């Protein structure tokens, strides 16, 4: 409003108007204005004038590119708020999109700091809301100062680590295996052919492939550069229609390739089984930090956040001292086992024309010709079989020795095919925690996250058992936890 510090915002539509009757009240010295501006008002409200002034809301020369916006920092202690006040430029980024609400929040924050207001004001709902929305950070809380340890480099851990890294966090991964991927696994076997020449065959003995049900995961798998290929396998006659019309996706040239691709430049420590988490009180500004231990040795320290991306039984061990209630919940998750047979066999004259079978009864849940998958090695005259036993059969035989399990699974294949199989090489693997129940462990959230100030501050958990089973569930859970860490 002219000559006043008060701002009054009107939202609506303005049109040029020449209606003499409407314009007559605004006549000056008997002369009506011609034309006038007719404003249809949708909404009107007062607005903090300082916000508009300080934000230079209408000064186009001071607008900045939103992608380069600094993140605001507020220090909880007014005593040391000088660095913030000394950088008034940090109060202007909202001019980029002229968001009046943001402008008000910033002006309010500045007022609190410049007046050295009582710290309790910094917990004001307006500031908290801005913090939740990610427009305001407390000092030393910008993503680049968050050091996050992610334990577990399967799909959940890598999905979380990638999103946190892309948001500017410093992430370090740890995994007990020699490579990444977890249950998205591929095993190589040596064998000798008919001419006694050494050969190598590979088998996707964990996830054979996965489907994408949610729009978010479908968008993820369809993006270029991930090395994923669509697989529409020919089903064996009499197979159970497990996919309900959905495509299968496979990573190439092997299943861990997807996790390797997502890992990119993120630092990782492999062959490192983390067996203890220790919370340490560090000097300001870090506050409390986490140290990771393996067999009594420190393998990493100074982390402000820790993400556990592990199957529930393994997560429970690390959670126990810090969140015993989560540990109890995790131990209750009924993960399903799976005995798997990998084998090279000679191709019989009556070779199957199909690529995958999902038997409806018997000990086998799936029978896969691994060499027929996209991007796999094919050796003329040989089949690379991968057989997965059902969860029920695997549970019954969970503690059996490999030598007992192998002939039973071989016999089950012969039963299904109806003819003998000439094996060149075989191996079995027991997956104690192969798959999670379809119903996630916690129906409300897809991850667990403690942002509080207690003994588990900055501790989070993700995995397929929280995200809704399978590779998709693991990815979803990792994404959810990253979003919670960044909030």
The site for ligand FAD (CB under 6 A) is made up of 151-157, 174-177, 182-184, 206-208, 210, 273-274, 309-311, 314, 338, 340, 388, 431, 434-435, 463-464, 470-472, 474
d(CA 143, CA 355): 46
Judged by CB, which is closer to ligand FAD: 48, or 342? 342
Beta carbon of residue 372, minimum distance to ligand FAD (angstroms, whole number): 16
Residue whose entry in the numeric block shows the structure tokens 């049900």: 213
What is the smallest separation between the CB atom of 436 and ligand FAD, expressed in angstroms?
Answer: 6
Taking the least distance from each CB to ligand FAD, the nearer of 51 and 338 is 338
Q: Using the minimum distance from each CB to ligand FAD, give the nearer residue, 313 or 347.
A: 313
Report the nearest approach of ligand FAD to the CB of residue 329 (Å): 16
| Residue showing tokens 């989070």 | 460
CB of 177 to ligand FAD, least distance (A): 4
Within 175-272, strands assigned E span 187-192, 198-203, 228-231, 248-251, 268-269
Kindly state the smallest distance separating residue 158's Cβ from ligand FAD, in Å: 7
| Half-sphere exposure (Cβ direction) of 21: Cα atoms closer than 13 Å | 0
Smallest distance from ligand FAD to CB 324, Å: 18
Listed in sequence order, the residues at least 6 apart from 54 whose beta carbon sits closer than 8 Å to its beta carbon are: 91, 92, 103, 106, 107, 110
326-363 as b/e: b if 16+ CB within 10 A: bbebbeebebbbbbbbbbbbeeeeeebeebbbbbeeeb
Comparing CB distances to ligand FAD, the nearer of 104 and 258 is 258
Instruction: Give the residue with the Cβ less far from ligand FAD, 156 or 357.
Output: 156
Shortest separation between residue 428's beta carbon and ligand FAD, angstroms: 12
Nearer to ligand FAD, 155 or 345 (CB): 155
> Can you tell me the distance from the alpha carbon of 337 to that of 65, in angstroms, rounded to the nearest whole number?
52
Instruction: List all residues 6 or more positions away from 369 whose beta carbon is below 8 Å from its beta carbon.
Output: 352, 354, 355, 356, 383, 384, 385
Q: How far is the CB of 84 from ligand FAD (least distance, A)?
A: 39
In terms of CB distance, is 108 or 217 closer to ligand FAD?
217
Beta carbon of residue 146, minimum distance to ligand FAD (angstroms, whole number): 21
The alpha-helical segments, DSSP class H, found in 87-243 are 100-114, 125-132, 155-166, 215-222
CB of 206 to ligand FAD, least distance (A): 4
CB of 472 to ligand FAD, least distance (A): 6
Side-chain-side CA neighbours of residue 220 (13 Å): 21
Are 185 and 204 a contacting pair, CB within 8 Å? yes
Q: What tokens appear for 64 in the block?
A: 């900045």
How many Å apart are CA 196 and CA 194, to the nearest integer?
Answer: 5
Pick 145 or 429: Cβ nearer ligand FAD: 429
DSSP string, 370-389: GGGSTT----TTEEEEEEEE
Q: Up-side HSE of residue 262: CA atoms within 13 Å toward CB?
A: 27
Nearer to ligand FAD, 93 or 478 (CB): 478
CB atoms within 10 A of CB 105: 24
For ligand FAD, the closer of residues 107 and 315 by Cβ is: 315
In 18-160, the DSSP E strands lie at 36-47, 72-74, 136-138, 147-151
- Return the number of the residue (120 or 178) whose C-beta is nearest ligand FAD: 178
Burial of 379 from C-beta contacts in 10 A (0-12 / 13-18 / 19+): middle
What's the rounded Cα separation, in Å, for the pair 262 and 192?
35
């Amino acid at each position: 409003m002219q000559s006043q510090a008060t701002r009054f915002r009107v939202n609506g539509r303005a049109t040029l108007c020449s209606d003499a009757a409407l314009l007559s009240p605004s006549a000056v010295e008997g002369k009506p204005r011609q034309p006038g501006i007719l404003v249809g008002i949708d909404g009107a409200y007062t607005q903090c004038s300082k916000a508009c002034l300080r934000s230079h809301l209408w000064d186009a020369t001071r607008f900045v590119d939103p992608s380069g916006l600094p993140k605001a920092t507020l220090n909880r202690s007014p005593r040391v708020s000088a660095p913030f006040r000394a950088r008034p430029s940090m109060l202007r980024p909202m001019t980029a999109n002229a968001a009046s609400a943001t402008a008000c929040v910033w002006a309010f924050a500045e007022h609190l700091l410049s007046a050295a207001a009582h710290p309790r004001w910094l917990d004001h709902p307006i500031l908290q809301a801005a913090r939740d929305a990610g427009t305001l950070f407390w000092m030393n809380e910008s993503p680049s100062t968050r050091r996050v340890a992610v334990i577990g480099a399967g799909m959940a851990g890598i999905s979380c680590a990638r999103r946190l890294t892309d948001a500017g966090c410093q992430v370090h991964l740890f995994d007990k295996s020699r490579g990444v991927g977890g249950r998205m696994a591929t095993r190589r076997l040596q064998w000798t052919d008919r001419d006694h020449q050494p050969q190598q065959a590979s088998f996707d003995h964990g996830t054979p492939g996965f489907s994408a049900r949610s729009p978010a995961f479908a968008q993820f798998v369809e993006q270029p550069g991930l090395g994923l290929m669509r697989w529409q396998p020919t089903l064996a006659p009499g197979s159970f229609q497990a996919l309900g019309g959905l495509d299968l996706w496979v990573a190439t040239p092997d299943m861990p390739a997807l996790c390797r691709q997502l890992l990119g430049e993120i630092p990782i420590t492999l062959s490192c089984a983390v067996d203890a988490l220790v919370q340490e009180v560090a000097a300001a500004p870090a506050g409390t930090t986490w140290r990771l231990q393996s067999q009594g040795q420190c393998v990493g320290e100074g982390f402000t956040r820790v993400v556990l991306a592990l199957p529930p039984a393994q997560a429970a061990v690390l959670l126990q001292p810090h969140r015993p209630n989560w540990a109890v919940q995790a131990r209750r998750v009924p993960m399903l086992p799976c005995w798997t047979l990998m084998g090279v066999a000679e191709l019989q004259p009556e070779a199957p024309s199909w690529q995958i079978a999902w038997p409806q009864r018997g000990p086998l849940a799936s029978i896969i010709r691994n060499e027929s998958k996209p991007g796999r090695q094919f050796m003329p005259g040989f089949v690379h079989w991968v057989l997965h036993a059902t969860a029920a059969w695997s549970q019954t035989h969970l503690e059996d020795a490999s030598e007992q399990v192998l002939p039973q699974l071989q016999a089950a294949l012969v039963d299904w095919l109806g003819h003998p199989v000439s094996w060149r090489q075989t191996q079995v693997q027991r997956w104690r925690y192969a798959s999670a129940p379809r119903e996630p462990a916690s129906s409300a959230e897809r991850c667990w996250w403690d942002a509080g100030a207690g003994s588990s501050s900055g501790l989070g958990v993700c995995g397929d058992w929280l995200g809704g089973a399978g590779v998709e569930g693991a990815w979803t859970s990792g994404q959810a936890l990253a979003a919670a860490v960044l909030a």
